[in-house]
């Protein structure tokens, strides 16, 4: 269970879906129905829709997140977006190190560590994604993998959100047993304690990977699970709000 002082956080990662018009409509619908009295909420649209999302979220407690950020503030990096650009817009969170970025775009731990530093130096809160592959899961290496990924990226700054996302659970409809989620989150909390000391108890650890309205309550009840990072199911307002209400 989440102790007092660690508010739950439910984040929707839209990935490369929805244009500006749909983004505006979905943010408006979520902002109107999200249970803000019980949890914090954020949505992460694609870069071209951030402005529309911020406009639609204005006046509500719904935060807007980016899905990625470049480690440098500016320069000759065609197609990239920097932390100061996001901060100037009013973006609150940025997803860093999602397994799709790691696997499909070759992001390594060193790059991800630099992205965390960039985000923090401009006041953004990074949502650091970690998690084991299917092979690592089958070999019983989950604990080692998440600890290694944390060590590579988390320094001494406790202003971070961790998302534990087993790669084999993303977009597959498969989820770990809540007891396995609790074990992974416990290992993450322990490593955070080693790195950050007492402030680690305030760091929120989200579960991500095939969260839906039917399985959310069970996953969110596991120990040290402080919320969810939701992909596919965040593209529907009713479903996303149902997850947050679970
Ligand atoms: P999914 O994605 O909910 O569609 O499995 C989760 C994520 O990639 O963050």
Q: How does pLDDT run across 50-91, given as a tens digit for each residue?
A: 999 999 999 999 999 999 999 999 999 999 999 999 999 999
Q: Which of 80, 75, 78, 157 has its CA nearest to residue 124?
A: 157
pLDDT of the residue at 120: 98
pLDDT of the residue at 60: 98
pLDDT of the residue at 1: 46
pLDDT, mean of residues 176-199: 96
Bridge-based pairing state of the strands 204-208 and 8-13: unpaired
What is the pTM (predicted TM-score) of this model?
A: 0.97
Pocket test of ligand 1: the residue of 161, 208, 242 to mutate, having most ligand atoms within 8 Å of its CB, is 208
What confidence tier does 183 reach under pLDDT thresholds 50, 70, 90? very high
Of 70, 165, 185, 191, catalytic: 165
Pocket test of ligand 1: the residue of 18, 172, 231 to mutate, having most ligand atoms within 8 Å of its CB, is 231
131 lines ligand 1 (CB under 6 A): no
65 lines ligand 1 (CB under 6 A): no
Verify whether residue 165 is a known catalytic residue.
Answer: yes
Distance from the alpha carbon of residue 43 to the mean position of ligand 1, in angstroms: 13
pLDDT, mean of residues 220-241: 97
The answer to whether 186 and 227 have CB atoms below 8 angstroms apart is no
Average pLDDT, the chain: 96
């Amino acid at each position: 269970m989440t102790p007092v002082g660690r508010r739950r956080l439910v984040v929707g990662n839209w990935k490369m879906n929805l244009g500006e018009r749909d983004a505006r409509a979905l943010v408006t619908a979520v902002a109107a129905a999200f249970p803000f009295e019980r949890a914090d909420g954020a949505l992460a649209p694609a870069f071209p829709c951030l402005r529309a999302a911020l406009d639609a979220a204005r006046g509500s407690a719904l935060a807007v997140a980016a899905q990625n950020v470049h480690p440098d503030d500016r320069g000759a990096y065609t197609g990239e977006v920097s932390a100061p650009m996001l901060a100037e817009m009013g973006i609150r969170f940025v997803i860093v190190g999602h397994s799709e970025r790691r696997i499909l775009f070759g992001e390594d731990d060193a790059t991800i560590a630099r992205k965390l530093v960039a985000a923090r130096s401009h006041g953004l809160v990074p949502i650091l994604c970690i998690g084991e592959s299917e092979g690592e899961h089958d070999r019983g290496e989950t604990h080692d993998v998440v600890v290694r990924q944390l060590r590579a990226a988390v320094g001494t700054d406790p202003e971070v959100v961790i998302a534990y996302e087993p790669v084999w659970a993303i977009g597959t409809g498969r989820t770990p047993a809540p007891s396995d989620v609790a074990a992974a989150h416990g290992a993450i909390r322990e490593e955070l304690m080693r790195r950050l000391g007492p402030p680690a108890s305030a760091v929120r650890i989200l579960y991500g990977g095939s969260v839906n309205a039917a399985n959310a309550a069970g996953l969110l009840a596991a120990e040290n699970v402080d919320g969810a990072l939701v992909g596919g199911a965040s593209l529907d307002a009713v479903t996303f709000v149902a997850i947050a209400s679970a």
